[in-house]
């Protein structure tokens, strides 16, 4: 074999290897981008896959009110933590609230209602659905009554996820999180 033929084979081998490596990187990039569109950060350390419920109303369309069903449910696990839904008539806790908005707007909630980021609603990991709670911003004293119709939050240390409007009413929309006191008021009508 001549030196020229050996150089030619080496160039072809490098080209094939480079092409294969580039194709593999493209496939990995596509897979990672697909994963990120269905992921939601649920704790400070890791990404966890959350399967979103179907979107039944597009953003900007009128969100129907009502529907849904009463739901308590069985214990469930998210991010390695077990949550046990239960009736807690004396529920009264102070902790961190966050809010959720446009990514979930128009999707079905855990009890089958349609999430409206402009309504005074919230998500709680264990209270019966739907429930009414009073939420107070501990820093400002601002208070709002909310309908709990969804499950969450699943981020470490958070006790309630507010709709965008609820976060605005409590003065937490800009910061994204804040300390609140949550008090159970009773079951909500369907």
List per-residue pLDDT tens for the chain, 190 residues long: 555 544 444 444 444 444 344 443 333 333 333 222 233 333 333 344 456 787 878 778 888 888 899 999 899 999 899 999 999 999 999 999 999 988 999 999 999 999 999 999 999 999 999 999 999 999 999 999 999 999 999 988 899 999 999 999 999 999 999 999 999 999 999 8
Tell me the β-bridge partners of 93: 182
pTM for the model stands at 0.72
pLDDT given at position 1: 52
3-state secondary structure of 89: coil
Q: How far apart are CA 43 and CA 151, in angstroms?
A: 15
Q: How far apart are CA 110 and CA 128, in angstroms?
A: 11
3-state secondary structure of 132: strand
pLDDT given at position 81: 92
The H or E element that residue 22 is part of is helix 3-37
3-state secondary structure of 20: helix
Q: How far apart are CA 76 and CA 124, in angstroms?
A: 13
For residue 101, give Cα distances in angstroms to 34, 57, 109. Answer: 21, 14, 13
pLDDT given at position 19: 39
pLDDT given at position 43: 35
pLDDT given at position 127: 98
Q: How far apart are CA 37 and CA 31, in angstroms?
A: 10
pLDDT given at position 50: 58
Among the listed residues 23, 162, 56, the one whose alpha carbon sits nearest the alpha carbon of residue 101: 162
3-state secondary structure of 31: helix
Q: What is the pLDDT of residues 19-32, one digit of tens each?
A: 344 443 333 333 33
Residues whose CB falls within 8 Å of the CB of residue 26, separated by 6 or more in sequence, listed in order: none
């Amino acid at each position: 074999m001549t030196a020229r033929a050996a150089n030619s084979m080496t160039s072809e081998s490098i080209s094939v290897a480079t092409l294969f490596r580039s194709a593999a990187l493209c496939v990995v990039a596509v897979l990672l981008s697909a994963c990120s569109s269905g992921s939601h950060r649920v704790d400070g350390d890791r990404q966890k896959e959350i399967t979103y419920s179907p979107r039944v109303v597009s953003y900007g369309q009128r969100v129907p009110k009502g529907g849904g069903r009463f739901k308590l449910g069985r214990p469930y696990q998210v991010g390695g933590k077990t949550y046990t839904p239960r009736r807690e008539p004396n529920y009264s806790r102070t902790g961190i609230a966050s809010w959720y908005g446009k990514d979930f707007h128009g999707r079905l909630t855990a009890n089958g209602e349609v999430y409206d980021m402009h309504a005074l609603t919230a998500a709680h990991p264990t209270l019966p659905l739907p429930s009414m709670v009073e939420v107070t911003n501990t820093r400002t004293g601002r208070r709002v009554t909310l309908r709990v119709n969804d499950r969450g939050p699943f981020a470490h240390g958070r006790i309630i996820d507010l709709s965008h409007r609820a976060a605005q009413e409590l003065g937490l929309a800009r910061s994204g999180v804040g300390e609140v006191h949550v008090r159970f008021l009773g079951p909500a009508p369907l």
